[in-house]
């Protein structure tokens, strides 16, 4: 089963390598990983998607906690949360398809962020499923290049537990 872990880390050199080393060394799985500074520049937030049964997730959580640079680990899959991914797509935009691409992007509430004579670069954010959907729709038109972020997530309602 998939779990979304939100991990607060001391923003130190090498700290990401401690986390990824832990996963590779103990045979845990990372499906996606996203890390950036928080409001406090001394603290980073890492959102990590992993999978495993309850025992595995319990071990992952405890092992992460054991790292001296880890401040907090929350399995946000436990509660109600909002998750987002972003994709940048360079899509073919020839005379015949330019309007069609714009219509599709509009439906997905995406934006065109760069224009050239034969292509657009479009930006779409949303859930994993939505990103998959927009990619599938644009594929027949001609996707030239694609860059995706990992998933980030935040709990709904009150502050970080």
Partner 1 sequence: MSQITGAQAIVKCLMEEGVSTIFGYPGGAVIDLYDELMSSPQLTHVLVRHEQAAVHAADGYARVTGEVGVALLTSGPGATNGVTGIATAYMDSIPIVILTGQVPTPLIGNDAFQEVDIVGITRPCTKHNYLVNNRNDLVETIREAFYVAKTGRPGPVLVDLPKDIIKADIDFEDRKPIRLQSYQPTYEPHMGQIDKACRLIMEARKPVLYVGGGVILSNASEELRELALKLDIPVTMTLMGLGSFPGSHDLSMGMLGMHGTYTANMAVAECDLLISVGARFDDRVTGKLDTFATNAKIIHVDIDPTSISKNVSVDVPIVSDCRKALTALNNWFNNRQDISIEDEKSKHQQWFEQIKRWQQQHPLTYIEEGEKIKPQYVVEMLDKLTDGEAIVATEVGQHQMWAAQFYQFNSPRRFLTSGGLGTMGYGLPAAIGAKMARPDKVCIDIAGDASIQMNIQEIATAMQYKCPVKVAILNNRFLGMVRQWQELFYEKRYASTTMDFAPDFVALAKAYGAVGLRATRKSEVEDVIREALAVDTFVLMDFEISREEGVFPMVPAGKSTTEMLLV
Binding residues (CB under 8 A) for partner 1: these are 10, 13-14, 17-18, 21-22, 25, 55, 58-59, 62-63, 65-66, 68-71
Instruction: Specify the residue, 11 or 97, whose C-beta has the smaller distance to partner 1.
Output: 11
Instruction: Specify the residue, 67 or 141, whose C-beta has the smaller distance to partner 1.
Output: 67
Alpha helices (H) in 26-122, listed in sequence order: 54-66, 98-107
d(CA 18, CA 59): 16
Rounded to the nearest 10°, the torsion over CA 142, 143, 144, 149 is: 180
Distance of closest approach, residue 69 Cβ to partner 1, in angstroms:
6
- Residue 29 tokens, joined: 């799985």
Distance of closest approach, residue 99 Cβ to partner 1, in angstroms:
51
Instruction: Specify the residue, 109 or 161, whose C-beta has the smaller distance to partner 1.
Output: 161
3-state secondary structure of 60: helix
Q: Which helix (H) or strand (E) holds 138?
A: helix 128-142
Distance of closest approach, residue 61 Cβ to partner 1, in angstroms:
9
Instruction: Specify the residue, 17 or 116, whose C-beta has the smaller distance to partner 1.
Output: 17
Distance of closest approach, residue 111 Cβ to partner 1, in angstroms:
39
């Amino acid at each position: 089963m998939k779990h979304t872990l939100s991990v607060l880390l001391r923003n130190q050199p090498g700290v990401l390598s401690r986390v990824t080393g832990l996963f590779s060394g103990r045979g845990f799985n990372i499906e996606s990983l996203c890390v950036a500074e928080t409001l406090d520049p001394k603290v980073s937030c890492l959102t990590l998607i992993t999978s495993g049964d309850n025992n595995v997730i319990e071990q992952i959580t405890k092992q992460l906690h054991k790292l001296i640079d880890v401040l907090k680990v929350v399995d946000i899959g436990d509660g109600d949360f909002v998750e987002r991914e972003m994709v940048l797509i360079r899509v073919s935009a020839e005379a015949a398809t330019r309007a069609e691409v714009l219509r599709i992007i509009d439906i997905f509430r995406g934006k065109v962020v760069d224009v050239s004579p034969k292509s657009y670069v479009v930006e779409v954010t949303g859930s994993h499923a939505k990103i998959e959907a927009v990619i599938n729709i644009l594929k027949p038109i001609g996707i030239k290049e694609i860059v995706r972020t990992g998933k980030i997530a935040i709990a709904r309602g009150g502050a970080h537990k």
